[in-house]
Amino acid sequence: MDEHLSLPGARLPSPMEEIGDPRLGGARLFLKRDDLIHPGLPGNKWRKLRDNLAEAARRGEDTLLTFGGAYSGHIRATAAAGRLFGFATIGVIRGEEHLPLNPSLAYAAAQGMRLTYMDRTTYRAKHTPEVIARLRAEHGRFHLIPEGGSNARAVRGCAELPAEIEAQGVAFDVICCAAGTGGTLAGIAAGLPPARRALGFSALKGGEFLAGEVERLRREAFGASSDNYGLECGFHFGGYARRTPELDAFAADFAARHGRVLEPVYVAKMMYGVFALAARGAFAPGTRIVAVVTG
């Protein structure tokens, strides 16, 4: 952890718990409960935002601006971080405004975030100098955090996960995580010791592009990449925030068996994928799998 920026009330390291299930074919499954880190900054949010907040403070920037969809957990978390650490926050939301605000945006607004909206064509170019210059002209000076929080600082934050897990006494073979922008997967893969592997499960339809994002983010953060990770793109269930009766039934059964409710946008899809791969024999008996609960 950055000694100059700590999260009041954080539960770190996040707990580990083993889930026994005969459907795993003899593999052992551990949950890394990042969802319990903090009520306002759960999952991978604190790991990705921490060093971005520290950098904003170092530069003397008192406003955070970031991007997200109408149901973005990253928008919620950035708003909460702003409230906790004294930053003004601006959320640039994809698409048109719809009133009343949905629960995610209502929460962000209640944390003090100023919401502004961007048409989808411009949003696709949000990373370009022209769009960023327009935002600076409209909003003044701000510290820019990309959509999903994924940049080199976020990757370095997530790269601490493997060592944290080992320090908790869990010797693992594979770490699994959901993937939306690629930052968490890039960081976990970068932090792996030798002979370990990371496996990401895309929550997006057509998520094959994330492999390129993982490579880009790893190079930006550490100057190099490797082939110690894989990306599963067949468990999106129709696309981002989409659900099917099959996914809902799996999540309900998991809750009944293990008393754990799976967040549906990312975590349920990842967990379904882990069990589906186990059923195909992808994990040898005795394989120790850590699934990071990021939401």
Query: Residues 168-189: pLDDT tens digits?
Result: 999 999 999 999 999 999 999 9
**What pLDDT shows up at residue 114?**
98
Peptide bond connecting 264 to the previous residue in cis, omega within 30 degrees of 0:
no
**What pLDDT shows up at residue 35?**
96
**pLDDT tens figures, 179-235:** 999 999 999 999 999 999 999 999 999 999 999 999 999 999 999 888 999 999 999
Beta bridge partners of 200: 177, 231
Instruction: Report how far apart the first and last C-alpha atoms of the chain are (Å, whole number).
Output: 20
Query: Quick one: DSSP state of residue 36?
Result: G
Q: Whole-number mean pLDDT of the chain?
A: 96
What is the pTM (predicted TM-score) of this model?
0.94
**What pLDDT shows up at residue 266?**
95
Concerning whether 202 is annotated as a catalytic residue, the answer is no
**pLDDT tens figures, 265-278:** 999 999 999 999 99
Query: Mean pLDDT throughout 87-106?
Result: 97
How far is it, in rounded angstroms, from Cα 138 to Cα 119? 16
Kindly indicate the confidence band of residue 4, based on its pLDDT and cuts at 50, 70 and 90: low
pLDDT above 90 covers a percentage of the chain that reads 95
More confident residue, 295 or 270: 270
How far is it, in rounded angstroms, from Cα 184 to Cα 292? 10
**What pLDDT shows up at residue 133?**
98
Burial 72-105 (b: 16+ CB within 10 A, else e): bbbbbbbbbbbbbbebbbbbbbbeeeeeebeebb
**pLDDT tens figures, 108-129:** 999 999 999 999 999 999 999 9
Q: Is the pLDDT of residue 2 over 70?
A: no
Domain 16-38+156-292 adopts which CATH fold?
Rossmann fold (3.40.50)
**pLDDT tens figures, 22-67:** 999 999 999 999 999 999 998 899 999 999 999 999 999 999 999 9
How far is it, in rounded angstroms, from Cα 264 to Cα 28? 23
C-alpha 6: how far from chain center? 19
Q: Is the pLDDT of residue 1 over 80?
A: no
The total of other beta-carbon atoms located within 10 Å of residue 107's CB is 16
DSSP 127-158: TSHHHHHHHHHHH-S-EEE-GGG-SHHHHHHH
**What pLDDT shows up at residue 295?**
83
Burial of 109 per CB tally in 10 Å (0-12, 13-18, 19+) = middle
**What pLDDT shows up at residue 167?**
98
Going from the C-alpha of 31 to that of each of 16, 211, 255, 262, the distances in angstroms are: 6, 24, 14, 11
Long-range contacts of residues 98-107, Cβ cutoff 8 Å, at least 24 apart: 98/70, 102/70, 102/71, 104/70, 104/71, 104/72, 104/73, 104/75, 104/76, 105/70, 105/75, 107/76, 107/79
The catalytic residue among 72, 104, 150, 202 is 72
How far is it, in rounded angstroms, from Cα 186 to Cα 222? 10
Same fold, 16-38+156-292 and 62-141: yes
CATH of domain 62-141: 3.40.50.1100
Domain ranges of the chain: 16-38+156-292, 62-141
**Six token digits for residue 141:** 């000076």
Cβ–Cβ under 8 Å, residues 153 and 43: no
